[in-house]
Structure 1
Amino acid sequence: MNVRTGLVGMCLLGCASSPRGAGETEDYGFVADSEIVWVRGPWEDIRPSGNVDEVIDQLCPAVMALPRARLGEYGQEYCGVIYSFEDGLYYASKPSPLTRAALVGPSKRKSCFSPAVVKDSRGQLEPLADFHSHPWSSSPLSEPDRRGRNQRYRVRIQFDTTCRIQKLVPYVREARPGEVYERQEGSWKLIGYIQPEDKDSGIITPVQP
């Protein structure tokens, strides 16, 4: 059984999360004694749509309204999941800031755990993508964002404080190259490939003009 599907299925059957700890809320938390993050869905601030791009386009403004989302070295990343049901609509989970404990103060490296579990009581869901923010401007997908071992879903979405949106389709277990896109004027422009031999490192080969 796929780990991702198993975790989602377990929570739909009523798995228990750990007692609420520091930083956890009714909308996100850790599965007991682990670094596995769960999030609740759907996020009411994001309008569901049969077109996943319409959901993606709503994410950045909503996330950037959250506490510290724009504060750079003093800022906070947020992570969530895009998923669907058999109704054909795509939904976004509520975003989580949970990560490993970090020193208080400014830092040039920010992170949040990509959620492995979505709690939505309406039925069996299918996760499509994770999304996360960067609290800086001019901040594309980082090398850790692109590495094969860090991919949980079929698609990864990332955006910065200017709402520059990038998409990674990693094709982790396939021989074909991963693909990196940027959202431009309502469409996705292919900007680079991650060759099969570079998936461990996340190195991008830019698309030639």
Structure 2
Amino acid sequence: MRGRNAWTVGVALLLGCAGTSYLQSGTETLFGQRGARVWVKGPWPAVHPSADVDEVIDQLCPAVMALDRAKERDYGQEYCGLIYSLGSGEYYASWPSPLGRTTLVGADLRRKSCSVPSIVRDDRGTASTLADFHSHPWFPSGMSQEDRWSQSQRWTLRVQFDSGCTITKLVPHQGESRPGEVYLRQGKAWKLIGYIHEADKDTGFITPVED
């Protein structure tokens, strides 16, 4: 309930003033770019903190899908953010950022992107990032090859969800001599659906797990 009330207030502040959208009012307030690096503000009041990171993950999709064009398929917007801690044992979500490469006219409309943030700005302390998260404005839509390959992995976890709130988690085990693991959220549990073997980490190729 705490997160829901805070989210209502946040939406009113962002969208209630002269009809300004999140994409417009958030820039340089909740997200921004310095050179090639994207930063995001934290914490996001739409997602209440928890010592259980899965409780944070489960709140992300409904909150993101309430944002501008998050569900509008080929004309939709992808959002990227971070999950982090301040050393107190609780995890927080940052505000999501829509910043990324611009889709050129005539380009494939089904290729959306947002730049994974590098920095969380939280006035309460120094943030330690555990995971990045991003949305896709279609359903169904799982992790793309670019989402999975090794050159795009920065953190311990990567979380992705589509407009139907199907949630996928990648544990890349970057720099380790063990396969990456891909999971699907089912209820309140994670189901292992595939491995990314060491030889395949550069390409992100998944070897499915047999049921």
TM-score category by the smaller chain? Answer: 0.7 to 0.9
Q: 1:176 aligned to 169, 175, 178, which one?
A: 178
**Aligned sequence identity (%):** 58
Query: What is the deviation of 1:104?
Result: 5.2
Q: Distance in 2 between matches of 1:141 and 1:207?
A: 16
**Counterpart residue identity of residue 188, structure 1:** W
**Residue 31 of structure 2: aligned partner:** 28
* Deviates further, 105-114 or 54-63: 105-114
Q: Supply the distance in 2 between the matched residues of 1:160 and 1:83 (Cα, whole angstroms).
A: 22
TM-score (norm 2): 0.85
How many residues in Structure 1 have an aligned counterpart in Structure 2? 187
Partner of 2:146: 144
The DSSP-based 3-state class of the residue aligned with 2:98 is coil
1:78 aligns with 2:79: yes
Deviations 1:7-26 (A, max 9, x none): xxxxxxxxxxxxxx998331
Identify the residue that residue 107 of structure 1 maps to in structure 2: 109
**1:125-140 to 2 correspondence within 5 Å?**
125-140=127-142
Partners of 2:33 and 2:126 lie apart in 1 by 21
**Deviation of the 1:86 alpha carbon:** 1.8
Runs of at least 5 residues in structure 2 that lack an aligned partner in the other structure: 1-23
Partners of 1:127 and 1:153 within 8 A in 2: yes
Given the two structures, how large is their TM-score scaled by the length of structure 1?
0.86
What is the rounded CA distance, in whole Å, between the counterparts of 1:191 and 1:119 in structure 2? 34
Q: Is the 8 A contact 2:85 2:91 kept in 1?
A: yes
- Cα distance in 2 between the residues matched to 1:61 and 1:25: 24
The range that moved more, 106-115 or 37-46, is 106-115
Contact 1:23-1:98 at 8 Å conserved across structures: no
Deviations 1:128-157 (A, max 9, x none): 000000000010111000000001111000
Please, what is the CA RMSD of the aligned residues? 1.7
Partners of 1:155 and 1:135 lie apart in 2 by 21
Moved runs in structure 1, 4+ residues, more than 4 A? none
Q: Do 1:24 and 1:98's aligned partners in 2 also have CA atoms closer than 8 Å?
A: no
1:96 maps to what in 2?
A: 97
Matched ranges for 1:151-170 at <5 A: 151-170=153-172
1:101: Cα distance to partner? Answer: 2.5
* AA aligned opposite 1:161: S
Cα deviation digits, residues 17-53 of structure 1 (max 9, x gap) = xxxx99833100111xx22100000001101011100
Task: Write the distance in 1 (CA, Å) between the matches of 2:141 and 2:133.
Answer: 14
Q: Secondary structure at the match of 2:151?
A: helix
Structure-2 separation of matches of 1:88 and 1:172: 24
Instruction: Please give the secondary structure, in 2, of the residue aligned with 1:55.
Output: helix
